[in-house]
Each structure stands twice: as C-alpha cells, then as structure tokens.
Structure 1
Amino acid sequence: MKTIVVIGGGITGLSTMHYIERQLQEQNAAAKLILIEGHHELGGKIRSQQIGEFIMETGADSMVARHPGVLDLVREVQFEHELVYNATGISYIHTNNELHAIPTGSTFGIPMNEESLIASTLLTDEEKQRVLQDATIPNDRFTKESSIGEFLQYFLGEGIVRKQIAPVLAGVYSGDLYELSVASTLPYLVDYKNNYGSIMAGFKAHREQFEKAADKKFISFRQGMSDFIHHIEKSLTQVEFKKGVEVSAIVQENGRYALTLSDGQVIDADIAVLAVPNETVKQLLVNEELTQHFEQFTNGSAITLYAGFNVPDSVLPADGTGFIVSHNSDLLCNASTWTSRKWAHTSNNGNLLVRLFYKDSNPRYEELAAMSDEQLTEIALEDVRLSLNIEDKPTVVNITKWMNKMPRYDLAHRDALIAVEQKMAEHYPNILLAGCSYYGVGIGACIQNGRDTATKIMAKISNNL
C-alpha cells in the first residue's frame, strides 16, 4: 500500500485529501493517507474568531461562488445547509475625501457598457471619451503575459486606470498593476480585445454570464469560514492527522522520501505534497538549482483591523458595503469592508462591524507595521470617523498582521513556476508543489489546485509511480 503525505492543512491540503479519498473510493483502491500541519488548528489563512456578538474572519472572509469547484466541494461534504451569501450593495471609492459609488455595470472598475461609463462620478468627460477610443486602437503588442496596468492604460487611458480601476484591482490582487500580468488577474480581457475589437464589446458579448454573477457573488458560512474547515476535517475518515508538528527535513531514499518531524518521528512517503508557503518549501528542498527559482516568488504584507461598535448597522450609507481608497484621501487605510452590512451573520444584534485593511502598497506601511496595537487602533478609529462620521468607541477590536505571507503574482511568476516544475520533475519526481504561492491566491483556485493535485497523484499510483 502506498503512503501519501500532504504537508499543510490549509484549504489546498484539505481539498487534495478530499479528492484523493474520493478517487480512491471510486476506483476501489487503497492508500495510507497522512496530513501534517504545524499549527494545532487546520485552515491556514482561513481563521474565524467569535468575540461577543461578532464573528470576525482574520484571514479570507468568503469564497467566490462561481469559481469552478467551490460549490461542488460544499455539496460533496454536505455542508450546503450552512451556506450564507453576501448582501448585494454599492461599493465605493474614497477620493478627495468623498465616497464615489463604483458604477453598476462595471467589473473591477472596468465599465462593461456605455451606461456604466457615463454614470461614473470619478471621471471627466474627456476621460470618458478616451475610454471609448479603445474601439479604434488595434492590439499589436499585448499578450496575456503583459502587464495588466500597461494593457488597460494603453486601451482605456490613464484617467480611468488611475482613478477607478487601479484602486479596485490593486485591492483585490495586492500588488502594483504595472507589475502584475494579465494572465494572473483578468486573462479574458486580451481575448475580448482580440476577438471583439474592444474590451467593452467583449463584455457586451458575455453580458449574460456577468449578469448572472452580478448578485450574490460570494459565500461564507453561518458560524464562520473555519466551520467549513472543521467540517471537511471530519469528513476525511481515511486520513491520519498530525497537528502541531512540522516537517524539518525531507531526504530521498530508494525512490521514497523520509520526512523527519519536529517531534523526532520519521515518516516514509511514496508521494508527498507540499501545500505550504514558498518560504517553507525552499527550506525543505535544499537544492541550488531550485533555490534560485524559489527566490523569484514574492510576497506582500497586510494588516487587518476589525472594529465592532454598539451602534446600529443602519448608520452606514444606504445600500453600501464598503470602499476602496484612491488618491487624494486623508484616510490611511487602503480599503474598508462594512462587514455587518455585507455579512449579516457576523453581527448577532445588528450592530456595526467594520474591517479596515492596511497593505504594504501604502506609503506609510512601514510606519504602521511598527506601531503598537493601541496606536493602530487610534489610526483606524480616525479612518472610521473621517469616512463614516462615527465617533463612538468600539466595544471590540481585533488586529491581524500577515507579514510577508500574501503571495504576489508579478511578471516573473509564470517563468519561475515553469522552471520550478521542470526541476521538481527532475530532482523530486514524486513530490508535488501545491497552494497559493504557486497556483492562485483565491480559495476557489486553491480548491481547484487540490483537485488537480489529487488527479496527478492518482495517475502516479495507477502507473505504479
């Protein structure tokens, strides 16, 4: 019987185990399955905390409902009854110390039709006319490996990119638009431009699919995202879990791998999956040829702060769910989600819960990162006061610092990944890389990566490695 070890108990590692178990059952096959997680709790960047009346997600707060595989996994582990969908509403951009609604009919700030473009209060008439010139500009230079910032500015103009698109996309992908590729953000935009002559025409041709996805885009769970993690863990009846121990060394021996754990145990594996951050992988696989490529993967940092108030959620602007900060703003945060409005289940008594984000793209980030929790709280409360005119003191504050742990898919990512995959096949043929450092940062991408990894493992088993 083969031994398969997954190192890392985040959503990628758990999804990998789920689909290995599932495929083993379907094929009436057997294998010894072990999952190793350094923390005492599974979940990785999915962490829910309940303090008083509030549920706070200190990591990811939701999953994209339409991403392939997300709802499939929820159904397969029979957890649909706990699903909750986001409340729909208006997202804003805070600029010139005012909130401007991101026009309906746009995606990531990119107008999908003329009505959305005209409705924007962020753009001048000249900037709106510049967007329409896209239809007259041929694409003779851009591919999916090009910079998304350069691509959008070339066709739509600097005004809309700087004022409306960049704040949204940078908020989602945690990076500089000019250092992120089209492929790692919105790959379909190149197809729209090439096939329909303009980005807007491409959106119009795919209008139906975007309208279907316009409402209830995101899902969470009544008791928080961690409840989903716990349920997946319970469903994995064939898996042996080892929590609170780390893998300290991996040695290849006679076609197998000896995994030395921090508690002194040694586990022999036929196949190992490294569903852990790139920095951990680099420490475990000591190989000069690989190290030079591992060093090309980059990470960002962020601080998130929740503040819960003993004031009703109704003090918020009508139908609003949060804002992203653009230029010319006195706010120090990069964005804010009005959590109690967007996710009603997070506030048992209907009181206000807001989440503020401070990312390393912020010019004052180093200063913020060095602050005490008390100083950060004062900064956040001033941001709340300036943006929402709320001067009450919070009843709950929760601060999480993700230091150098947010994968950033810059223009070097794709080439580095191709090189790493080639070297891994050569030096470690039965060790597979997985997770958000390499194959997508969203939970949906991690679930799909887990499914794909399981399929690769089953193919190796069928071919007797």
Structure 2
Amino acid sequence: MKTIVVIGGGITGLSTMHYIAQQNIDAKLILIEGNQELGGKIRSQQIGEFIMETGADSIVARHPGVLDLVHEVQFEDELVYNATGISYIHTNNELHAIPAGSTFGIPMSEESLMASTLLTAEEKQRVLQDAEIPNDRFTKESSIGEFLEYFLGEGIVHKQIAPVLAGVYSGNLYELSVASTLPYLVDYKNNYGSIMAGFKAHREQFEKAADKKFISFQKGMSDFIYHIEKSLTQVEFKKGINVTAIAQADARYTIALSNGEAVEADIIVLAVPNETVKHLLVKEELAPHFEQFTNGSALTLYAGFHVSDSVLPADGTGFIVSHNSDLLCNASTWTSRKWAHTSANGNLLVRLFYKDSNPRYEELVAMSDEQLTEIALQDIKLSLNIEDKPIVINITKWINKMPRYDLAHRDALQAVEQKMTEYYPNVLLAGCSYYGVGIGACIQNGRVIAGKALALI
C-alpha cells in the first residue's frame, strides 16, 4: 500500500487531501501540521460579541472550485455573503468613493471614469487616450504598474488604481507582473484596442460578480476548516508536530518529526511556506531559486466599540489610504458593516491594516501593543470621527508571511519545478508561496496537486 503524506494543514493542504480522499484509493493518507490547529492563515477568534478573522477574512465566491468545496463537505447552510456597499479611498484627509463600475480602481466604462472624484479633467482625458496607443511592447510578464501607466496615465494609476491593487497583492505595482495580478488586461488591450473596450466586451461577466463577491461562515472562517477536517475520516492527522528533515531512501522518503518519530512516504505534498520548504529540500541546486520567492509583512488590528455601526458613512464598507493622508494605516475594513455576523449586537467592529509598504512600517513594527493601539485609535478618530474607547482590541502580526509575486516569481517557479522532478521525484510543491494568493487560488491549487499526486500512484 502506498503512503501519501501532505505536510501543511492550511487550506491548500486540506483541499489537496480532500480531493485525494474523494477518490477512495487504496493508500494510507497522513497530514502533518506543526500547529495544534489546522487552517494556516485562516484564524477566527470570538471575543465577547465579536468574531474576528485575524488572517484571511473571506473567500472570493466566483473563484473556481470554492463553492464546489463548500458543497462537497455539506457546509452550505453556514454560508454568509458580504454586504455590498461603497469602498472608499482616503486622500487629502477625505473619503472619496471608488466609482461604481470599476475593477481594482480601473474604470470599465466612461461613466465610471467620469464619476471619479479623485481625478482631474485632464487625467480623465488621458485615460481615454488608451484607444489611440498601440501595444508594441508589453506582455503578461511586464510590470503591471508600467503597463497601466503607459496606457492610462500616471494620474489614475497613482491616485485610484495603485492603492487598491497594492492592497490586494501586497506589493509595489512596478515590481509585480501583469500575469501575477490581472493577466486578462493584456488580452483586453490586444484584442479590443483599449482596456476599457475589453471590459465592455466582458461587461456581463463582471456585472454578475459585482454583488456578493465574497463568502464567509456564520461562526467564522475557522469553522469551515474544522468541518473539512471532520470530513476527512480516512486521514491520519499529526498536529502540533513539525517536520525536521526529509531524506530519500531508494524509491521512498523518510520524514523525520520533531517528536522523534519517522514516517515513510511514497508521495509527499509540501503545502507549507517557501521558508519551510527551502529548509527541508536541501539540494544546493535548488537553493538559489528558492531565495527568489519573496514575502511581505503586515500588522492588523481590530477595534470593537459599544457603538452602533450606523455611525459609519452610509453604504460604506471601508477604505484604502492613498497619498496626502494623515492616517498611518494602509487600509481599513468596517467589518461589522461588511459582515453582519461578526457583531452579534450590531456594534461597530473596525479592522485596520499596516503593511510593510508603509513609510513608517519599521517604526510601527517595533511598537508595543499599547502604542499600536494608540496609533489605530487616532486613525479611527481622524477617518470616522469616533473617540469612544474600544471594548475589544486584537492585534496580529504577519511578519514575512505574505507571498509577493514580483517579476522574478515566474522564472523561479519554472526552474524549481524542472529541478524538483530530477532531485525530488514524487515530491510536489503546493500553496500560496508558488501558485497564487487568496483562499480560492489555494483551493484550486489543492485540487490540481491532488490530481498530480494521484497520477503518481
């Protein structure tokens, strides 16, 4: 009997094991996770009346495989969708609505462009010049910042698009490729003559996705993880145990564990961060490529108040901070407005993000929790005019744990994949360090990797 071992109990590892177990193969299935609880970057905490997601707060509903997995583990009854509303950009110490009919701040129509209060008349006209500029230089491997600025102009990129995209992809737009962010934009430009014309041609697709884009669960995201775990009755879980080494032994592998045990495996899936992978796969031929995968950092802080969230701007769900703002945070989600289930009594719950792109990040990361709290409360006062004392504060520090897909990522991944088959046959890489950020991408990657693992049986 073959043994398949998945190392890493985040959503990628669990999805991989789910799709392997679904086939009812004659194999021993083992999942090893260093923490006592599964979930990786999915972590829910309930304090008093509030549910706080200290990692990812939701899943993109339209991503392939997401709702399929929810259905397959019979968890539909717990689904909740986000409340739709206006997202803002905070600039010049004012909140400006991101225009309806835009995607990541990119206008999909002239009406959306003209509705922007962030751009001058000249900057709006510059966007419309896109239709007159041929694409004779950009591919999907080009910098998305350079691509957008060349066709749409500096004004809209800096004022409206960069704050949104940088918030999603945790990086500098000029160091991120089109392929790793919005690959369809090159196709739109090449096939329709302008980015906006491409959006118009696919308008129905985007309109369907405009409302209720995200899902979560009544008791928090971690409840979904617990439910997947419970469904995997044929899997042996080893939790709270780290893998210390992987050694080849003929056609099999020996996995050394921190508790002194060893596990023999025929097939291994490494659904762990790149930092962990490079310490387990020690062939020197792989090391230079693993070094090219980079990570970002962020601090997140929740503040819960004994104040009704009706004090928020009407229909608002949060904001992203642009230039010329006195706020120190990079973004804020008005969680109780966006996710009603997170506040049992309808009181205000706010989440603030401080990313390593912040000019004062090094100062912020060195602060005590008390100092960070004071900074956050000042940001809440300046942005929402709320001076009440919070009844709950929750701080999480994600240091070097947020994968960045810079321009070197694609080449590094191709090189690693080629050399893995030579030096570590039957060992598969998985997860967000390599194959896409976001829970939806991780679920889809788990399904793909499960197929590859099954093909090796």
* SS state at 2:456 partner: helix
- CA deviations 1:330-369 (Å, max 9, x no partner) are 0000000000000000000000000000000000000000
- CA deviations 1:392-439 (Å, max 9, x no partner) are 000000000000000000000000000000110100011000000000
Q: Distance in 2 between matches of 1:264 and 1:430?
A: 24
Offset, 1:239: 0.2
1:336-347 residue pairs with structure 2 within 5 A?
336-347=332-343
Offset, 1:316: 0.2
Match of 1:18 in 2: 18
Match of 2:3 in 1: 3
Q: Distance in 2 between matches of 1:371 and 1:18?
A: 41
Offset, 1:287: 1.1
Name the Cα RMSD after superposition.
Answer: 0.4
* SS state at 2:22 partner: helix
Match of 1:170 in 2: 166
* SS state at 2:286 partner: helix
Q: Distance in 2 between matches of 1:273 and 1:460?
A: 12
Q: Distance in 2 between matches of 1:200 and 1:316?
A: 32
Match of 1:194 in 2: 190
Gaps of 5+ in 2: none
Identity within the alignment, %: 86
- 1:118 partnered with 2:118: no
1:11-50 residue pairs with structure 2 within 5 A?
11-23=11-23, 25=24, 29-50=25-46
Q: Distance in 2 between matches of 1:343 and 1:443?
A: 18
Match of 2:426 in 1: 430
**2:433 counterpart letter in structure 1:** S
Q: 1:439 aligns with which of 435, 438, 444?
A: 435
Offset, 1:113: 0.1
* SS state at 1:170 partner: helix
Q: Distance in 2 between matches of 1:249 and 1:103?
A: 51
Offset, 1:445: 0.5
- CA deviations 1:93-116 (Å, max 9, x no partner) are 000000000000000000000000
Q: Distance in 1 between matches of 2:157 and 2:249?
A: 53
TM-score computed with the length of structure 2 as normaliser: 1.00
**2:113 counterpart letter in structure 1:** L
Gaps of 5+ in 1: none
Match of 1:96 in 2: 92
- CA deviations 1:181-202 (Å, max 9, x no partner) are 0000000000000000000000
**1:11 counterpart letter in structure 2:** I
Match of 1:157 in 2: 153
Offset, 1:128: 0.1
* SS state at 2:259 partner: coil
Q: 1:328 aligns with which of 304, 315, 324?
A: 324
* Moved segments of 4+, more than 4 Å: none
1:242-391 residue pairs with structure 2 within 5 A?
242-391=238-387
Match of 2:209 in 1: 213
Offset, 1:11: 0.1
Offset, 1:450: 0.4
- CA deviations 1:200-258 (Å, max 9, x no partner) are 00000000000000000000000000000000000001100000000101000011000
Q: Distance in 2 between matches of 1:181 and 1:13?
A: 26
**1:13 counterpart letter in structure 2:** G
* SS state at 1:311 partner: strand
Q: Distance in 2 between matches of 1:400 and 1:460?
A: 40
* SS state at 2:433 partner: coil
Q: Distance in 2 between matches of 1:30 and 1:137?
A: 58
Q: Distance in 2 between matches of 1:423 and 1:246?
A: 25
**1:403 counterpart letter in structure 2:** I
Offset, 1:458: 1.0
Q: Distance in 1 between matches of 2:284 and 2:296?
A: 24
* SS state at 1:267 partner: strand
**2:5 counterpart letter in structure 1:** V
Offset, 1:10: 0.1
Q: Distance in 2 between matches of 1:181 and 1:160?
A: 18
Match of 1:452 in 2: 448
Offset, 1:30: 1.0
* SS state at 1:273 partner: strand
Q: Distance in 2 between matches of 1:457 and 1:250?
A: 18
Q: Distance in 1 between matches of 2:289 and 2:122?
A: 45
Q: Distance in 1 between matches of 2:218 and 2:34?
A: 27
Q: Distance in 2 between matches of 1:63 and 1:30?
A: 33
